[in-house]
Amino acid sequence: MADPSDRDHVVDLVIVGAGPAGLFAAYYGGFRGLRVAVIDSLPQPGGQVMAMYPEKPIYDIGGFPSVRGRDLIDGLTRQAAPFGPLYLLGQQAVELHRDDGGVLTLTTSAGSRVMCRAVVVTAGVGTFTPRELPAGGPYEGRGLMYFVTRPQDLADRDVVIVGGGDSAVDWALALDSVARSVTLVHRRARFRAHEHSVAQLMASPSIEVLVEHEVVEAGGTPALESVRVADKQGNERRLACQTLVAALGFVADLGPLAEWGVALRDRHILVDTRMATNVPGVFAAGDVTEYPGKVRLIAVGFGEAATAVNNAMTVINPEAALFPGHSTDQPR
């Protein structure tokens, strides 16, 4: 396929969003013989799975009693790889223009232009921005991080995690056997995380849990060396810390997608049974979609991606059959 360093690309189908549904759509577009481009604002494929819980086991994917988020994304990218999708990562799909001949042109935040005949939006919750930890702000890139993508990179480090949701607890458990020390700081007494995960956290003899505490200061020159925490009574402690993980949730925003003219409801894209939007040539699949009876699961998104791509195929090539046959019938 085209070199991603080029500014202009011509493909058949563009996938906006490189999460699980988008990656499966990339495979399915290749399976149907389409030239596919995938655009995502994150610098690597995987969407929320890779950004927020790459080490977390996922239990509701068909055929996998349990699969790590990282392994799921690796499998999806390898599944699509034989068809050579073009990945335009670290750039946001900004503008969508449709000419009189039905050709769609997407312009990205990096200045790339991609011309195609159909688009499948698999943007999940859209662009998500982590909630900032004010005390750690000066150390972003020097010890403060918002996502843990490679726990092994934190080996032999004192790690302080801030938050009480699933990500905070999952990362604490994942780092327990990797980091030199792990401390979880939560400003409330109760956790939002899954009860079973919280029970594991509390049972760990090596993870220190400080509830009703906040990180009030970070220090070190030039990189992070320690943090100061305080409880509600104002009692303070200083903790050794070379890595501060702020797991405070994120703010989701559809961003420029909301300006494309697609019908929305509560920041979700309305689709019909074909996964088609109200904009000709634009389809959607996965968590970003809304319709009666919608269930937001990765497993559901896979089916929606296949439905969207097959229906997009009939727009790209009106003579093509909607149903492609079974993959087992295809020559290998």
Number of separate domains in the chain: 2
Q: Do the beta carbons of residue 245 and residue 81 sit within 8 Å?
A: no
Task: Pick 184 or 41 by higher pLDDT.
Answer: 184
pLDDT exceeds cutoff 80 at 21: yes
**pLDDT at position 298, please?**
96
Separation CA 164–CA 307 (nearest Å):
37
CA distances from 208 to 205, 235, 270 (A): 8, 17, 45
Domain endpoint, select from 248, 263, 279: 248
Domain containing residue 296: CATH number: 3.50.50.60
Separation CA 166–CA 308 (nearest Å):
31
222: containing domain: 132-248
Q: Is 293 contained in some domain?
A: yes
**pLDDT at position 167, please?**
86
pLDDT exceeds cutoff 90 at 332: no
**pLDDT at position 97, please?**
96
Residue 132 neighbours by CB under 8 Å, 6+ apart = 246, 248
Domain endpoint, select from 205, 226, 248: 248
**pLDDT at position 265, please?**
93
**pLDDT at position 42, please?**
85
Q: Is 199 contained in some domain?
A: yes
Q: Do the beta carbons of residue 87 and residue 38 sit within 8 Å?
A: yes
pLDDT cut 90: percent of the chain above it = 75
Average pLDDT, the chain: 92
Binding residues for FAD: 40, 48, 53, 93, 128, 287, 328
Q: Return the amino acid letter for 113.
A: R
Q: Is 2 contained in some domain?
A: no
Q: Is 78 contained in some domain?
A: yes
**pLDDT at position 63, please?**
95
Q: Is 3 contained in some domain?
A: no
Helical pair 69-80 and 20-31, crossing angle rounded to 10 deg: 20
**Alpha carbon 202 to its chain's center:** 28
Same domain, 122 and 17: yes
Domain endpoint, select from 248, 263, 288: 248
Same domain, 243 and 279: no
pLDDT digits over 266-322, tens only?
889 999 999 999 999 999 999 999 999 999 999 999 999 999 999 999 999 999 999
Same domain, 121 and 177: no
- Ranking 68-77, 139-148, 208-217 by mean pLDDT, the lowest is 139-148
Same domain, 166 and 193: yes
Same domain, 153 and 234: yes
Closest listed residue to residue 122, CA positions, set 31, 29, 213, 59? 29
Q: Is 50 contained in some domain?
A: yes
Same domain, 165 and 202: yes
Same domain, 204 and 231: yes
Q: What angle do CA 50, 51, 54 make, to 5 degrees?
A: 40
Q: Is 41 contained in some domain?
A: yes
Task: Pick 128 or 70 by higher pLDDT.
Answer: 70
- Ranking 63-72, 119-128, 203-212, 296-305 by mean pLDDT, the lowest is 119-128
pLDDT exceeds cutoff 50 at 62: yes
pLDDT exceeds cutoff 70 at 4: no
With bands split at pLDDT 50, 70 and 90, how would you rate the model's confidence at 1?
A: very low
Same domain, 256 and 121: yes
Binding residues: 40, 48, 53, 93, 128, 287, 328
CA distances from 302 to 109, 122, 291, 306 (A): 27, 10, 16, 7
Same domain, 166 and 315: no
Same domain, 285 and 233: no
Q: Is 1 contained in some domain?
A: no
Segment 234-241 mean pLDDT: 96
